[in-house]
Structure 1
Amino acid sequence: MRKVLGSLTAVVLVILLTSYGLWTSKRHVGHYLTDLRIQLVINDGEPGDRGNLLGIQPELFASDYSSVKRLHRKLAAYLQQAHDRGLINDKTIVVLPEHIGTWLFAVDEKSQFYQAATIEEAMNWLAFSNPLLFLDAMLHARGEKRLEDAHLRMKAQSMARNYQSLFGGLAREFAVTLVAGSIVLPSPEVRDGQLQVGKGALYNSSLVFGREGIPLGQPQRQLFPSWYQRGYIRSGKDTPLNVVDTPAGRLATLIGSDSWYPDNYVRLNAAGAELIAVPAFVAGNGSWSQPWRSDKHQQLSSRLDLGSKPLTQGEAWRRLALGPISTARAGISVFMRGQLWDQGSAGHSFASRGGQSVAEQSISAAPKGAKPGHGARLINLWL
């Protein structure tokens, strides 16, 4: 009798494991693109032969990341509309927002993953659907928040490949220099023209692609990660600030809050940076208009010159980023928009010319049917 029960148990286990294996191999296939409309909210200066800084503030949702092809179609639609408006030429530098590459962990997942109500639920489905990748990532996870580390680490190799093929492909397709926002990867570096990952700590990094789709230099690591990344993103404060040559001039990238600190501009001035791209991200719907709190940020933030009057997040960003201490000719800060599960985002992109801020004249004229504060945006600064 025991042998019979043992055999039946073994058969049931085999059936369950086989069913689980078959379930994990089936992936969601999306058929419908989200809104492709984009509004031009800043178009400063006059067209000329010196090129332009073109920020694309996309509005993205979880379903947009269901496949690389789907995300490409949406971003390419934005770029095509910019091209049709005469905003793309052979000296154009396109800037995308922070973390646009990080969400590539969401590519090719189960339908339950995209339908989750919260990011926590989605991450549970991510681990459950990729058990071997998750277990391996947990073994290599670092920092205080090992679970968050593992979730971002588990698909790092495919994320790096997709990041380069997607954003390098867009740069080549539209013949532009492209600052590909940022992506969180373990110890990223470019070797033989290819973005590679290691087994070390996670860094929030940005890569610039030239007009042929080839990386220009090494990934720029974020020096001062944001408060919500504490415990799993390593600071890159000891790494250099990269300056790369582009058809429009020498370009530097400061990720997010790295753009607040005067010492970074002093270093870039010495390196001859003429243009500065700031891929940025502000977490939480409506947080742009909420009070700026120094206790949420790096200790260095207590020494920033913000005056005595209380400021909102948006006011602090415009005062700190791309300030007059920089000798660069121009700069641009580009934020993400959209809703990824329960994770909202905020931020109004802006530009700078000679240390003077260039912001949206009006944020009320959105595409028909769009909610206030929503909708994709183009920010253009002629050089």
Structure 2
Amino acid sequence: MRKLLSGALALVLLAAIGGYLLWAEQRPEGHYLSDLRVELALSTGIPSGQGNLLGIEPLLYPGDYQNLTRLHRKLAAYLEQARVQGLVNERTVVVLPEHIGTWLWARGEKPEMYQVPHLREAHQWLELSNPLRYGLAMFAAQGDDRRADAHLRMKAGQMAADYQKVFGDLAKEFGVTLVAGSIVLPEPYLDHGVLRAGSGALYNSSLVFAGDGSVLGQPQRQQYPDSNMRRFIEPGTATPPQVLDTPAGRLGVLVGSDGWYPSNYQQLAGQQVQLIANPAFVGGQGSWAGPWRGNRHQPASVELNLRPGQINEDQAWYRLNQGGLPAGVASMSVFLRGQLWEVRGEGLGFASLNGLHHASASHGARLLNLWL
């Protein structure tokens, strides 16, 4: 009798495990309606044949990341509307916001994950739906927040391929230079022009794609991760800012809060930079109009001459990004908008060429154009 019961229990356990693994592999997709409208919130300067900086502040939600077709359709719709307005040409440099690629960890998951209201619940669905991936990622995780590290590390290879596919295809489709915001990956590197994820620490990095879809330069790592990211993101100071040749001029990319630091601008100026793209992200409802939170965990923050809470977030971004900008260099900062679970993207982009230009607040997706 004991052997019979043991055998029956083993069969039940095997059936339960098999059923769970079968459930974990299923990824049905439902219908999804996406708002493809975009507002031209800022256009300054006069077309001169030298090109333009074109910032896109997309309105993104969890469902936009369920598959690559949805994400491509939304971003391509914004670019097509810009093209209709005469803002896209072979000398256009498109700038997308920080972390637009990081959220690719959500691609290809169960529909229930996109419907829960809180990010912690989405992470629970991610873990339950990918038990082996998550377990291995936890084993390899680093930093002060190993769970957050594992959520990104577990799908890093897929994320790297998706990032290059989506943004390389967009650059080629519209024939533009495209600064593809940023993505968090472990030790990102290029292998014969293909973005790969390594096995080391996580870095917040940006790639620039040429008009033929190829990669320009190397992954640009964020030098000084902000206070919210430092728990699991390593500083990229071993790979200083680079300058890339584009049809519109010599381009440098400063990721997120890197746009605050005068030393980064000095390094770019030493390489004869002409254009600076600053993909950025400010999360939390009301944070853009709230007190500046600073970057107190970075030793380099002593060079900012600005204390947390001294002024509001928006004014701090304007002041710090203008403070180190070399004379005659054009720059643009763009922010991720929308709401990814309870994480609300705030921030309103701005541009500079011999003076600051910023648009009034608006709630939808935005285009920002600066003629060079």
Taking the TM superposition and a 5 Å limit, the aligned residue runs for 1:88-103 are 88-103=88-103
TM-score (norm 2): 0.97
Match of 2:276 in 1: 276
Match of 1:192 in 2: 192
Unaligned runs of 5+ in 2: none
Contact 1:276–1:328 (CA under 8 A) maintained in structure 2: no
Aligned-pair identity (%): 53
Give the secondary structure class of the aligned counterpart of 1:288: coil
Taking the TM superposition and a 5 Å limit, the aligned residue runs for 1:77-156 are 77-156=77-156
1:207 to partner: Cα distance? 0.2
How many angstroms apart in 1 are the aligned matches of 2:8 and 2:322?
69
1:292 to partner: Cα distance? 1.1
TM-score (norm 1): 0.94
Change (3 A) 1:121 1:212: same
Match of 1:244 in 2: 244
Output the aligned Cα RMSD: 1.5
How many angstroms apart in 2 are the aligned matches of 1:167 and 1:193?
14
Match of 2:298 in 1: 298
Change (3 A) 1:307 1:341: closer
Instruction: Look up the equivalent residue of 1:378 and give its one-letter code.
Output: L
How many angstroms apart in 1 are the aligned matches of 2:45 and 2:183?
31
Q: Larger deviation: 29-38 or 329-338?
A: 29-38
Instruction: Look up the equivalent residue of 1:196 and give its one-letter code.
Output: R
Taking the TM superposition and a 5 Å limit, the aligned residue runs for 1:355-374 are 356-360=355-359, 362-363=360-361, 373-374=362-363
Tell me, yes or no, if structure 1 residue 262 matches structure 2 residue 262.
Answer: yes
How many angstroms apart in 1 are the aligned matches of 2:155 and 2:339?
22
Give the secondary structure class of the aligned counterpart of 2:190: strand
Match of 1:178 in 2: 178
Match of 1:380 in 2: 369
Give the secondary structure class of the aligned counterpart of 2:370: strand
Contact 2:252–2:277 (CA under 8 A) maintained in structure 1: yes
Unaligned runs of 5+ in 1: 364-372
Contact 2:294–2:307 (CA under 8 A) maintained in structure 1: no
Give the secondary structure class of the aligned counterpart of 1:103: helix
Instruction: Look up the equivalent residue of 1:142 and give its one-letter code.
Output: Q
Give the secondary structure class of the aligned counterpart of 2:29: coil
Contact 1:144–1:232 (CA under 8 A) maintained in structure 2: yes
Match of 1:366 in 2: none
How many angstroms apart in 2 are the aligned matches of 1:322 and 1:155?
37
Give the secondary structure class of the aligned counterpart of 1:294: coil
Contact 1:160–1:195 (CA under 8 A) maintained in structure 2: yes
Change (3 A) 1:115 1:2: same
Tell me, yes or no, if structure 1 residue 12 matches structure 2 residue 1.
Answer: no
Segments ≥4 residues shifted beyond 2 Å: 293-303, 305-310, 322-325
Instruction: Look up the equivalent residue of 1:200 and give its one-letter code.
Output: G
Match of 2:69 in 1: 69
Contact 2:290–2:313 (CA under 8 A) maintained in structure 1: yes
How many angstroms apart in 2 are the aligned matches of 1:37 and 1:258?
30
Change (3 A) 1:328 1:33: farther
Instruction: Look up the equivalent residue of 1:376 and give its one-letter code.
Output: A
Taking the TM superposition and a 5 Å limit, the aligned residue runs for 1:32-43 are 32-43=32-43
Instruction: Look up the equivalent residue of 1:357 and give its one-letter code.
Output: L
Contact 2:293–2:309 (CA under 8 A) maintained in structure 1: no
Contact 2:261–2:324 (CA under 8 A) maintained in structure 1: no
Change (3 A) 1:73 1:197: same
Give the secondary structure class of the aligned counterpart of 1:279: strand
Matched positions, count: 372
